[in-house]
Amino acid sequence: MADPRRCPISCVATGPSNPEDAVRPLLIKFVLPLGFALVPVLVGALIVATLPPRGRDFFVSHVSPLDYVILGMGTGLFLVQVALAFRALQWKGRGFNERPDPWLNRLSQSSEWFPLLGLIGTVGGILQTFSGITGSTSPQQVIQSYAPAITATGSGLFMAFLNILPSWVVLVGRGLILGLGEDPGAASEGGAP
């Protein structure tokens, strides 16, 4: 008898008895892992799409070299984590593929770096703003010259959020795949698949 927590699809080597049994392994082994792995990408796109348009336009027109570093490093690490999340959600033998887990854990810790990098950019922007103030300056001019310093903070926070998601999706996705993959007949018959 198979342990339902380790093998949510039929572990019996015989062929499927009906068409639903043929679809179920494909759904659990490929479709669901791919869908869960793409969740962080969709969340990132949703965040960008729902930002206030004027704020998004301001950010795009004031991207600094440090923003490019933060966004480039964050996007690279994020894409690696999405690929690892897909692999971690797939079946290997009688359970999930756990080989990517240590790498996912290490790379998700990189999310801590990005707000710090953003803060460095913000402090640099503040120093630049206040070093440029001479004589009497209106508050509007100070605010206008200070505003670009905030882009680094936004870049850092966005990359931190995105780089937390893949490891979380693996944890949640594995539980959902196990729940969805349980043999519906096993519950009524009182046995495991």
Question: What are the structural domain ranges in the chain?
Answer: 22-182
pTM of the model: 0.77
pLDDT at 56 over 80: yes
Query: Region 186-190: what's the mean pLDDT?
Result: 46
Q: Please check whether residue 29 is in contact with residue 90, taking contact to mean a CB–CB distance below 8 angstroms.
A: yes
pLDDT at 7 over 60: no
| CA–CA gap between residue 160 and residue 108 (Å, rounded) | 9
How many CA atoms lie less than 13 Å away from 138 in the CB half-sphere?
Answer: 3
List the alpha helices (DSSP H) in the chain: 19-26, 32-50, 53-61, 65-88, 101-108, 113-131, 139-146, 150-181, 184-189
pLDDT at 192: 41
pLDDT at 5 over 70: no
- 138-174 tens-digit pLDDT: 877 777 777 778 899 999 999 999 999 999 999 999 9
Q: How confident is the model at residue 191 (pLDDT cuts 50, 70, 90)?
A: very low
User: Who's near 164: CB < 8 A, 6+ residues apart?
Assistant: 108, 111
Strand partners, 95: 92
- 79-98 tens-digit pLDDT: 999 999 999 998 877 789 89
pLDDT at 189 over 60: no
- 95-113 tens-digit pLDDT: 898 999 999 999 988 889 9
Residue with token string 């999310």:
111
- The single-letter code of the amino acid at 106 is R
